[in-house]
């Protein structure tokens, strides 16, 4: 572990001089205008030492207490400082002294730029695996963010455990990091150059789900995923056919004294989140439009019900006696793939679900399958529906009686399980995996 930390520290504090010219990988990030406007006030020395791989600025941050894991020289902390406002509070933690010193030197500069009479930021030198050990209070922060840092720590599980501890009940963990489509062999995971480029510690989506849910978080919700461009030919040769992406997820901490909802809900977005007055994009497939009802499974409904977004939604439980007296007849899958040649390929699959039991999990058959970009057909990926990295995502449409419900791949399990409480013909379904990773 010492060598792992020292390699990363030496590279980022001593070798790297400029994030734009020295890094050997690139990620295409689309920055919204309101962040661009704040970024204009960030000191050039702070901006030059920014090494994140995405955006970690969820909405509705005013007056929030936010913790930034692996803050570096503080670029994201200072942007968050502006977003939370003078009544909010942002803490940045990083294990490296040099970038923390840069952040300290430029704190007054940014507070004056933002017209704050009292600083609302704090920088702490320490490891993100030791949040409570260094004195951060449990159940304190409204939001924890992390930008391309967890991949660099050898004990990722502890990071999720510690983030859960310091978050308030109902708090949100909003993280962007590097993911790989396959497990890296040991010789690559220990490679010094790949460590420095945040590739050696790339996370597998299975580990993300495992660490998050074991810590107590809700299942991760994918927001964005972008391919990583490797600009160095030696590194490209080294990794071969392994594909890397940066992906942003949000997770929620359900209050310990509350149970997750056990039935679906109809949620109506009522607006009033600054910047999202007409619609709120919750993840890469779910956008709540103001005034429109959206059916949500129990986990998603629970996450919103106990979060800071609660007051922006209307909640109506779906009464099974009124809505779920039919049988799940068809599951239709719309799978979107992002091909290497830049073509977006959409595949339609339809499955008829007949019956499941503990011994036989394949009593089903597919109706049809088609690809929109050509006349070829592909077989549905049963029994796991769609379970592997494909550089894209899937959406499922579940028909129950006369109603159709739209769900992302990682919701299909909870959806059908919910229906099975009312429909004894469905006793078991195979586990579904996240759509993109």
Q: Which residues pair with 249 in a beta bridge?
A: 175, 222
- d(Cα 269, Cα 118) in Å, to the nearest integer? 35
Distance separating alpha carbons of residues 72 and 164, to the nearest angstrom: 21
d(CA 384, CA 361): 10
Q: Token pair of 356, please? A: 């499941």
**Nearest Cα to 188, choosing from 238, 122, 259?**
238
End-to-end C-alpha distance for the chain, whole angstroms? 27
Identical topology for domains 2-252 and 265-318: no
Give just the sign of the alpha carbon dihedral 22, 34, 61, 105: positive
* CATH number of this structure's domain 2-252, picked from the four choices 3.40.50.150, 3.40.50.10150, 3.40.50.300, 3.40.50.12160: 3.40.50.150
HEC profile of the chain: CHHHHHHHHHHHHHHCCCHHHHCCEEECCCCCHHHHHHHCCCCHHHHHCCCCCCCCCCCCCCCCEEEEECCCCCHHHHHHHHHHCCCCEEEEEECCHHHHHHHHHCHHHHHHHCCCCCCCEEEEECCHHHCCCCCCCCCCEEEEEEECCHHHCCCHHHHHHHHHHHEEEEEEEEEEEEEECCCCCHHHHCCHHHHHCCCCCCECHHHHHHHHHHHCECCCEEEEEEEEEECCHHHHHHHCCCCEEEEEEEEEECCCCCCCCCCCEEEEECCCCCCCCCEEECCCCCEEEECCEEEECHHHHHHHHCCCCHHHEEEEECCHHHHCCCCEEEEEEEEEEECCCCCEEEEEEEEEECCECCCCCCCEEEEEEEECCCCCCCCCCCCCCCCCCCCEEEEEEEEECCEEEEEEHHHHHHHHHHHHCCCCCECCCCCCCCCCC
The reply to whether omega before 383 is within 30° of 0 (cis) is yes
Strand partners, 349: 333, 369
The parts of the chain modelled with pLDDT lower than 70 are 1-29, 257-262, 319-437
Q: Domain 265-318: which topology?
A: Ribosomal Protein L9; domain 1 (3.40.5)
Contacts of 391 (CB under 8 A, 6+ apart): 181, 227, 243, 245, 337, 338, 339, 436
pTM of the full predicted structure?
0.73
Could you give the angle at which helices 412-420 and 298-305 cross, rounded to 10 degrees?
110
Write out the two tokens for 371: 């690809």
- Name 333's bridge partners: 349, 396
Residue ranges covered by each domain of the chain = 2-252, 265-318, 322-420
pLDDT of residue 228: 85
Report the DSSP beta bridge partners of residue 371.
347
pLDDT of residue 258: 62
The pLDDT assigned to 348 comes to 52
CB of 79 within 8 A of CB of 37? Answer: no
Question: Residues with Cβ < 8 Å from 188, sequence gap 6 or more?
Answer: 194, 199, 200, 238, 239, 242
């Amino acid at each position: 572990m010492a060598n792992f930390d020292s390699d990363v520290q030496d590279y980022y504090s001593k070798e790297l001089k400029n994030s734009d010219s020295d890094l050997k990988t690139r990620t295409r990030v689309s920055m919204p205008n309101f962040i661009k406007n704040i970024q204009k006030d960030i000191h050039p020395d702070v901006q030059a030492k920014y090494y994140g791989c995405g955006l970690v600025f969820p909405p509705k941050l005013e007056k929030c207490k936010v913790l930034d894991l692996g803050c570096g020289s503080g670029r994201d902390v200072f942007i968050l400082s502006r977003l939370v406002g003078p009544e909010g509070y942002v803490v940045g933690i990083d294990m490296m002294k040099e970038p923390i010193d840069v952040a300290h030197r430029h704190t007054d500069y940014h507070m004056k730029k933002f017209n704050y009479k009292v600083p609302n930021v704090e920088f702490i030198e320490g490891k993100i695996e030791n949040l409570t050990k260094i004195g951060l209070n449990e159940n304190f922060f409204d939001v924890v963010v992390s930008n391309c840092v967890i991949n660099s720590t050898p004990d990722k599980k502890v990071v999720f455990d510690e983030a859960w501890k310091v978050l308030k009940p109902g708090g949100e963990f909003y993280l962007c990091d590097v993911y790989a489509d396959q497990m890296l062999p040991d010789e690559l995971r220990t490679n010094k150059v790949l460590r420095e480029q945040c590739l050696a510690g790339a996370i597998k989506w299975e580990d993300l789900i495992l660490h998050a849910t074991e810590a107590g978080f809700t299942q991760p919700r994918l927001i964005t995923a972008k391919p990583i461009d490797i600009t160095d030919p030696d590194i490209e040769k080294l990794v071969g056919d392994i594909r890397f992406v940066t992906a942003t997820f949000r997770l929620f901490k359900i209050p310990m004294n509350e149970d997750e909802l056990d039935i679906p809900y109809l949620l109506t977005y009522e607006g009033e989140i600054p910047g999202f007055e007409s619609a709120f994009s919750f993840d890469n497939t779910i956008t709540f439009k103001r005034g429109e009802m959206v059916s949500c499974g129990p986990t998603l409904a629970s996450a919103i019900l106990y979060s800071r977004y609660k007051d922006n939604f209307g909640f109506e439980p779906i009464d099974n006696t009124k809505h779920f007296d039919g049988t799940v007849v068809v599951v239709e899958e719309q799978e979107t793939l992002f091909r290497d040649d830049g073509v977006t390929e959409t595949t339609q699959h339809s499955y008829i679900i007949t019956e499941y039991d503990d011994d036989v999990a394949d009593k089903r058959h597919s109706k049809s399958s088609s690809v929109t970009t050509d006349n070829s057909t592909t077989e549905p990926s049963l029994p796991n529906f769609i379970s592997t990295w494909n550089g894209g995502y899937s959406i499922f449409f579940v028909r129950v009686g006369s109603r159709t419900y739209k769900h992302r791949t990682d919701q299909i399990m909870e959806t059908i399980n919910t229906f099975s409480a009312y429909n004894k013909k469905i006793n078991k379904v195979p586990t579904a995996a996240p759509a993109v990773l």
